Structure 1
Amino acid sequence: MALDKILSIGGKPGLYKLLTQTRGGFVGESLLDGKRVTVGLRSNVSVLSEIAIYTLEEEVPLKEVFQKIKEKEDGKKTSISHKAEKIELEEYFFEVLPNYDEDRVYASDIKKIIQWYNILLDNNITEFVEDEKDAEQPTVSASEEEE
């Protein structure tokens, strides 16, 4: 399953798989417990394929960050918990993405990225980077998603 069918819903924990669209929003299924939720159009929803992380040079798509974590961890879960201390999270993320913008990527963003990566792995969603034929899409940072 591609990241363009995986959603983060503001105010709800974890990630959701897009099942169907309705007149007033859509129906998603939690990747944590399988429960279905109906979400209105006014909810703060982000599609993982549209999220990017700020670096000092450019914005890196979240799928590329997930791929770097996968390579670092040899396809296994992260060696650090998303509940680790801020300094540990930053050190880990620096190993994954050495040029990330420390002023614009917060510890809360790193926590989400680590948690999301592990949720995706638990659900056997491990193909993060597709072919180069993907069209460029608008990007949103994980920190903008909270606003």
Structure 2
Amino acid sequence: MPYDLKEIAAISGMPGLYRLVRPTRAGVIVETLDERATRSVASARNKVSLLHEISIYTEDLDQTVPLTEVFDRIQQHYGADFPFTNKSDDRDLTKFMETIIPDYDRERVYMSDIKKLVTWYRLVSATLPYLAEEEATEEAPAEEAEAKTEKKAGTKASKATADDALSTAGVISSATETDEPTNPEAATEATAKSRGKKKSE
């Protein structure tokens, strides 16, 4: 996944994009997707639309293009030099859309949608890291290997702890069996009893 959009959302009544932080009783705490990362609370009445669940209509009624894939196409085509904004000429934005999704549905995808797409992409590309597919493929096995190593290390640590406990069982004396009792009064009482026993003998 080039751009991780799982926690990125558009919220009704609130401009821009937001990163979901954590839920609250009143709604959800979010932070703006910019350098300031300003936090606020989106109430339960606000509609939260996760970007990774949004798709673009195509001429095929049964086919849509996920926003994650659209962003990937834009990145691959324009790289870091993305020239469009929501104030670009409509004709240029139409050509841009035709380049990225040649078969997009002209009737159901409005110019306002294209401008929103451009605005969202600029925010995401300026804030989130882009991970190429080959890099993602390379990192996945590495993460799995690291997880296995940590799990194996944890198993060894647990086994070592268990072995230590078994190796000392019945060997290390309890406090009451040591030569130097930790309770002075108990030691005095034990000495007195011992002397009394010797006298009676």
TM range (shorter): 0.7 to 0.9
Aligned mate of 1:6, from 5, 8, 12: 8
One-letter code of the match for 1:49? H
- Asked which structure has the greater RCO (Cα within 8 Å, sep 6+), the reply is 1
Pair 1:106–1:125, CA change in 2 (3 A): farther
Runs of 4+ in 1 over 2 A off after TM superposition: 124-131
Gaps of 5+ in 2: 138-201
Pair 1:77–1:44, CA change in 2 (3 A): farther
The CA RMSD over aligned residues, in Å, is 1.9
The answer on whether the counterparts of 1:15 and 1:119 sit within 8 Å (CA) in structure 2 is yes
One-letter code of the match for 2:24? T
Tell me the distance in 1 between the aligned counterparts of 2:103 and 2:9.
26
One-letter code of the match for 2:21? L
CA displacement 1:60-107 (0-9 Å, x = unmatched): 100010001001112x14222221122221111111110000100111
Percent identity of the aligned residues?
35
Tell me the distance in 2 between the aligned counterparts of 1:67 and 1:83.
22
Tell me the distance in 1 between the aligned counterparts of 2:122 and 2:72.
12
For 2:76, the equivalent position in structure 1 comes to 71
**Structure with the higher helix share, 1 or 2:** 2
Aligned mate of 1:40, from 18, 39, 43: 43
Pair 1:35–1:108, CA change in 2 (3 A): same
Aligned mate of 2:98, from 94, 101, 107: 94
TM superposition score normalised by structure 1: 0.81
For 2:118, the equivalent position in structure 1 comes to 114
CA displacement 1:93-145 (0-9 Å, x = unmatched): 111110000100111111111111111111133248778xxxxxxxxxxxxxx
Pair 1:124–1:2, CA change in 2 (3 A): closer
One-letter code of the match for 1:63? T
Gaps of 5+ in 1: 132-147
**Structure with the higher strand share, 1 or 2:** 1
Pair 1:128–1:120, CA change in 2 (3 A): farther
Matched residue count? 130
Pair 1:104–1:90, CA change in 2 (3 A): same
Give the 3-state SS of the residue equivalent to 2:14 in structure 1: coil
